[in-house]
Structure 1
Amino acid sequence: MTTVTEEVEIEGVRLLATLTPGGEIGLLALHGSNEGGTAELARSVADRCGATSLVFTQPGVRRPVHIPSPRMAVEHCALLGTFLDHVSVTVSLHGHMRPATPRSVFLGGGNRSAARLLASGLSALRPEFDPVTDLDEIPRSLRGLHARNPVNLTRRGGVQVELPLSARTVRSGGWDPEVPDTPPHHVVDALVKGVRMLTE
């Protein structure tokens, strides 16, 4: 698979989009530099599943800017358009830092049946992490239901997966833009299992 990159500017913020083409399931990391581990998770899971991945990062930036997901759906990002045209279901990986729910993995997005399937794979993470699919139990800002959110723009929509920090990286020190995060192996395995369920 040939990886393609594109430099884009959204709301004055420069980002690097990296697309690795694969199958019709797409792994998306819109905030790869803001939400540690999501870029690495998207790439690892897509590679193991033969899926497509699209990752946005701000290389070398010590204080990355967080652009809300619906505002990332801009027409001048050619690789995002390619991703949305090719992929049928998107799994969009994000990070949350909710102190009241440090074990919760929230599964939002418009495709609720896909969210439940993905949660079945993630159930292997219990009791360390708790997959949550009931929208009423997901904080409103983490539900991923906005019509312009890229997770909902593919043919069958998708699932927005909000992961707590400990489910995204094993890093113990402070964040460094030059040092990649290492996601926990068992979280990668569980996501792979869930994503494969979406193709069955």
Structure 2
Amino acid sequence: MEHGERVDIERVVIEGVEFEAALTVRSDIGLLALHGGKEGGTAELAREAAARTGATALVFTQPAGTPAHIPSHRMSEAPSEALREFLSHVSLAVSLHGHLRPDAPRSVFLGGANRAAALVLGRPLALLAPAFETVTDLELIPAGLRGLNPRNPVNLTRAGGVQVELPLAARTSRPEEDRGAPETPPRAVADALAAGVAELTARRPG
């Protein structure tokens, strides 16, 4: 643990599902994974990008049972002190999600209300081509993946944020048949995400 940071672990029940929320407080740029475990690799990417860039991280996981998916806008209503602190401390959020769109198995979609930040974050991710296609044009992002709901936590920070929707191959290298193996994000994706977060950090006011 770096000097000046702290990690808080909270157990919270949301719509009958038990979650563990791990909050690591660092800078006012924040990495968020609301569906860690359900959307494999997102928790690991959020932790790594935050640690490498000095960003705050909040990761939700489900310690028992089959992971359930609760939509992001309903997660914002959770009785979670960790989420409340994250939203008050962070000025701009990057929220990581996973999608399984069969028609877009290599597409990384950058939604969220802060479109300028999406373009900044998208530049290093675009360098992953041709392995992955980075899409920042909202008109080209499926409506359900745009992350524009005003109650979505990514849009509740002071400057809003960027919702990153990652296909399976961009968030984990774990073989699909090996359910017990750890989720290991592809190194190139982790590097590109960290580079984008570092650029957002460098550009923030003050």
* TM-score interval for Structure 1 and Structure 2 normalised by the shorter chain: over 0.9
Q: 2 CA distance for matches of 1:114 and 1:24?
A: 14
- 1:189 equivalent to 2:194? Answer no
Partner of 1:54 in structure 2?
A: 58
Q: 2 CA distance for matches of 1:24 and 1:165?
A: 29
The answer (yes or no) to whether the contact 1:75–1:81 under 8 Å persists in 2 is: no
Q: Which amino acid aligns with 2:185?
A: P
Q: 2 CA distance for matches of 1:24 and 1:133?
A: 23
- 1:33 equivalent to 2:37? Answer yes
Shift of 1:174: 3.1
Residues 60-79 of structure 1 aligned to structure 2 (within 5 Å): 60-61=64-65, 63-74=66-77, 76-79=79-82
Which of residues 88, 94, 98 in structure 2 aligns to 1:95?
98
Gap regions ≥5 residues in structure 2:
none
- 1:5 equivalent to 2:18? Answer no
Q: Which amino acid aligns with 2:19?
A: L
Q: Which amino acid aligns with 2:130?
A: P
Q: 2 CA distance for matches of 1:36 and 1:9?
A: 21
Q: 2 CA distance for matches of 1:103 and 1:50?
A: 28
Shift of 1:179: 4.3
Q: Which amino acid aligns with 1:189?
A: D
Q: Which runs of 4+ in 1 moved over 4 A?
A: none
Identical-residue share of aligned pairs (%): 60
- Secondary structure, aligned partner of 1:33: coil
- Secondary structure, aligned partner of 1:174: coil
- Secondary structure, aligned partner of 2:127: helix
Q: 2 CA distance for matches of 1:73 and 1:45?
A: 23
Q: 2 CA distance for matches of 1:173 and 1:108?
A: 27
Q: 2 CA distance for matches of 1:175 and 1:55?
A: 23
Q: 1 CA distance for matches of 2:193 and 2:78?
A: 30
Q: 1 CA distance for matches of 2:193 and 2:54?
A: 13
TM-score, length of structure 1 as denominator length: 0.96
Partner of 1:107 in structure 2?
A: 110
Shift of 1:180: 3.0
TM-score, length of structure 2 as denominator length: 0.93
Cα distance change on mapping 1:43 and 1:85 into 2, 3 Å = same
Question: Aligned pairs, how many?
Answer: 198
Q: 1 CA distance for matches of 2:123 and 2:199?
A: 9
- Secondary structure, aligned partner of 2:105: coil
The answer (yes or no) to whether the contact 2:174–2:181 under 8 Å persists in 1 is: no
Gap regions ≥5 residues in structure 1:
none
The answer (yes or no) to whether the contact 2:18–2:63 under 8 Å persists in 1 is: no
The answer (yes or no) to whether the contact 1:20–1:53 under 8 Å persists in 2 is: yes
